[in-house]
Amino acid sequence: MNLASWGRFGLLAALWGCSFALIKVSLEAFEPLQLAFGRLLVGAAVVLGILALKGIAAPARRVWGHVAVASVFGNVLPFFLFAYGEQYTTASIAGVIQGATPLVTMGIAAAALSDEKPTTRKVTGLLGGFAGLVLVVGPWRADGFGSLNGQLACVGAAASYAVSFVYVRRFIAPHKLPALAVTGGQLASAAVLTGVLTSFTTGWSLAGDLAVKPVLALIVLGAASTGLAFALLNRLIADVGPTTASGVNYLVPVFSVAVGAAVLGEPVAWNVPVGGVLVIAALALAEGRLSSLARRGSVAPPAPEQQPAAGSVAQKAC
């Protein structure tokens, strides 16, 4: 990656890592569903604005049903569940739990997709990741990290993300639509669904005073950690490919723990960083990154004429 790509990579990790602290602050004024709706509304406005500037068309009518389903699992449920969970647990815990999303995705993909066969490496990684997740949650602890109920809500959010990724791959990806257009459609659809759901359930009575801090946190959460973050992700995928771009998942828990401790003063016991490292290592194993690093260390790099051209790599990434 060049310097600009590294900058986007780090910024994306920071935006997603900081989102959990922003959720925590937003909850001072908003109920979880209200928070999810505000985040989606602002995020959709940002992404739709980018689509308009780039002249990218909205998804065709024939896929809007699939886009709506993907928005439920990829936006409505996880945004609500993380907000609900953080009422009862820390932002640090929520961020580390989201770091396990790719592992959950692998497990669901292996069960739902015929071309995703389970291998010894993947199964070992999934088991190790599950052990790390249990260690992070620390069900034996009764102090400092809130209730198990809140932590399980965050696990449910990570599982919902995983279902969405598999659904998009199975039903939307074959249509070869621009990823940013699908994202814009998902966020817009999710905002409408969440607005209706909020109106008929919790309503619009706020949880606290409409102070500057929670309102600003919600705006930043929607504009930066949702809208801008998705735009950065799509740019990274275009520049360096989906595999390299997915490596941002390794840094999100680091930022969430650091911001939670430094800004919110959250406690960080030994099980959180140790469990987080176990989750990251399991993810690296399941994705084959550890064996790739080992091969790089033991095999000399190919001669220049043996290396693939940039054009062929870009075509594979698309």
DSSP 173-206: GGG---HHHHHHHHHHHHHHHHHHHHHHTT-S--
What's the pLDDT score for residue 23? Answer: 97
> What is the distance between the alpha carbons of residues 21 and 264, in angstroms, rounded to a whole number?
7
Q: Can you give the three-state secondary structure of 110-176, one letter per residue? A: HHHCCCCCCCHHHHHHHHHHHHHHHHHHCCCCCCCCCCHHHHHHHHHHHHHHHHHHHHHHHHHHHHC
The CB density around residue 277, as the number of other CB atoms within 10 Å, is 15
166-202 pLDDT, tens digit each: 899 889 989 999 989 999 999 999 999 999 999 999 9
137-158 pLDDT, tens digit each: 676 665 555 677 888 899 999 9
What's the pLDDT score for residue 273? Answer: 83
pTM of the model: 0.82
How would you class 70 by CB atoms within 10 Å of its CB: exposed for 0-12, middle for 13-18, buried for 19 or more? buried
pLDDT-based confidence at residue 105 (cuts at 50, 70, 90): confident
Place of tokens 């009764």: 142
What's the pLDDT score for residue 143? Answer: 55
- What is the arithmetic mean of pLDDT over 7-17? 92
Choose among 293, 298, 291, 248: nearest CA to 121: 291
Instruction: Check whether 69 has a pLDDT greater than 50.
Output: yes
Structure tokens at 71: 């928005």
- DSSP-assigned letter for residue 301: P
User: Among 14-23, 108-117, 257-266, whose mean pLDDT is lowest?
Assistant: 108-117
Place of tokens 């919790």: 202
